[in-house]
Amino acid sequence: MRVIEVHLSFLHDQISQIRPIIKAFLEPFDHEGLHLEIGINEALNNAFYHSPKQGYLQMQLCLYRNHTLIIRIHDNGLGFQVGEKLATYDFNTDNEGGRGLLLMQAYFDRMIYNHNGNEVLLAKKMKGMSL
Amino acid sequence: MITIEKQATNSQTMILSITGRMYAEQATTFRKQVLSLIEKGLTELKLNLSSLEYIDSSGLGVLISIRKHLDKVGGTLTILGIQGDVQELFELTRLNQVFHIE
């Protein structure tokens, strides 16, 4: 049963207005919340960079009674080759990009992209909340 | 969402102290600002991140870009004061082995 559910649809250039919403949603989770905030913003950044400037993004944040957090982010772009990016990641490089997927995988239990690379599902079993 | 405090010894040497949260949008603006300083002669840059509350891969990428531009002009970039979650992020991405950190 869902305890908290947030659905957002926003235009490409409104992404900066979404960041405080994510921060506020995760605030009850203290230190763990910051890690998840980074992971979600990484997914949003990928959606932003790989979608058209006049495009839109959709995000769902769902917290379930068993403390499972599910995030879904979809954009109307053509996507990108997620598998290829993950396969070619090299820690020994000082490339300016390419670390976002690494952080998403590090901070979430599951990261699942669709075939096109324009929709991602992130899942995390939370340790707990401070109220 | 970030504020930048500048301490300049001269046009070639500077400490920038960053406070707040650096999301992708702020990282893009910060990059432009620093590259402009490099074009005007900055070569020795120290970035004080002790009050930085948030950074992600966009911000880390900008730091790498800044370091590369300074390398081209024979300059240096030093990262100061990373701690807590920011330090953890540097370690997770192994960028603690790429940057000169004090």
The per-residue pLDDT for range B57-86, each reduced to its tens digit, is: 999 999 999 999 999 999 999 999 999 999
The pLDDT value given to residue A84: 81
The shortest C-alpha distance from A5 to chain B (Å) reads: 24
The pLDDT value given to residue A131: 44
Q: 């406070």: which residue's tokens?
A: B19
pTM: 0.92
Return d(Cα A123, Cα A64) in angstroms, integer: 11
The pLDDT value given to residue A1: 63
DSSP lists the bridge partners of residue A121 as: A72, A112
Instruction: Collect all residues of chain B within an 8 Å Cβ-Cβ radius of residue A37.
Output: 54
The pLDDT value given to residue A110: 97
What does the DSSP 8-state code read for residue A59?
A: E
ipTM surpasses 0.95: no
Tokens of A92: 């020994």
The pLDDT value given to residue A92: 65
Best residue in A32, A38, A94 for a mutation probing chain B (most B CBs within 10 Å): A94
Return d(Cα A118, Cα A89) in angstroms, integer: 20
Q: Which amino acid is at B71?
A: D
Q: Give A3 or A21, the one with higher predicted confidence.
A: A21
Whether B23 and B56 have beta carbons less than 8 Å apart is answered as: yes
Whether A2 shows a pLDDT value over 70: the answer reads no
DSSP lists the bridge partners of residue A101 as: none
The pLDDT value given to residue B6: 94
